[in-house]
């Protein structure tokens, strides 16, 4: 009688940083706050989890490397030949898309810097757009940070929210049509007057308004410094 083949775990020497990062992205794409763990990564790779540390100093270094790879996906989604305004719009769109694709990674790294090549490319892209708008020096640096931090914050917040259970998200999202419509009109007259409009606001609209506000701020400041 033939024996059933036994799957043996690979050693660290049989892995590569590339294979580990790709497996990490697969796990992160499956969602869930605990989707991306070293134990599950070992299972995904068919390797002893400790073998990962032959290639990455610790989990923090791994997550930053994975985040930088995700930034590469953001860059890949931005077409060539766009105006500086449309490059920033495309950057915003792709940042949110990739964050929601890998929420466990995006929520962790929203307040971090990867200090790696794709992050440097993103910084160069934003600085290039701001430079084309007409800002330089300290003004360019300040407005770069305003753009980058705003996109990271929104994408990271959206990613973190995506990790909550569906019933929790449903309760939060329905509150505008329920609890906010039931407040005491004498105490909260503005909420009462705009209760229907508040319930009709869509998440994408919020993001679009924020991105357009950033672009307008850059345009206004550029005109002011060029006078």
Q: 225 in the Ramachandran plot: left (φ > 0), alpha (ψ -120 to 50) or beta? A: alpha
Q: Which residues pair with 10 in a beta bridge?
A: 47
| pLDDT tens digits, one per residue of 153-166 | 999 999 999 999 99
Measured CA to CA, the distance from residue 38 to residue 115 in angstroms comes to 22
| pLDDT tens digits, one per residue of 17-30 | 999 999 999 999 99
CB within 8 Å of 176: residues ≥ 6 apart: 195, 198, 199, 201
Give me the domains of the chain, ranges plus CATH numbers: 79-225 (1.10.357.10)
3-state secondary structure of 32: coil
Query: Is the model more confident about 12 or about 14?
Result: 14
CB within 8 Å of 35: residues ≥ 6 apart: 27, 28, 104
As a whole number of Å, the end-to-end CA separation of the chain is 88
pTM of the model: 0.91
| pLDDT tens digits, one per residue of 20-76 | 999 999 999 997 777 788 999 999 999 999 999 999 999 999 999 999 999 999 999
């Amino acid at each position: 009688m033939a024996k059933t083949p036994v799957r043996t775990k690979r050693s660290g020497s049989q892995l590569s940083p590339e294979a580990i990062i790709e497996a990490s992205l697969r796990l992160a794409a499956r969602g869930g706050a605990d989707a991306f763990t070293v134990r599950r990564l070992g299972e995904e790779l068919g390797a002893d989890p400790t073998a990962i540390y032959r290639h990455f100093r610790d989990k923090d270094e791994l997550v930053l490397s994975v985040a930088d790879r995700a930034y590469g996906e953001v860059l890949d989604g931005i077409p060539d030949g766009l105006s500086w305004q449309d490059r920033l719009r495309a950057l915003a769109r792709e940042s949110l898309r990739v964050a929601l694709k890998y929420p466990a990674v995006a929520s962790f790294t929203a307040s971090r810097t990867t200090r790696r090549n794709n992050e440097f490319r993103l910084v160069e892209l934003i600085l290039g757009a701001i430079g084309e708008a007409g800002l330089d020096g300290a003004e360019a640096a300040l407005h770069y940070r305003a753009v980058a931090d705003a996109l990271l914050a929104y994408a990271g917040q959206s990613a973190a929210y995506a990790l909550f259970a569906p019933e929790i998200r449903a309760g939060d999202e329905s509150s505008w049509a329920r609890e906010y419509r039931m407040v005491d009109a004498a105490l909260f007259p503005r909420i009462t007057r705009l209760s229907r409009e508040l319930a009709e606001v869509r998440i994408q609209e919020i993001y679009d308004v924020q991105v357009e506000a950033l672009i307008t701020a850059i345009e206004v400041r550029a005109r002011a410094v060029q006078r």
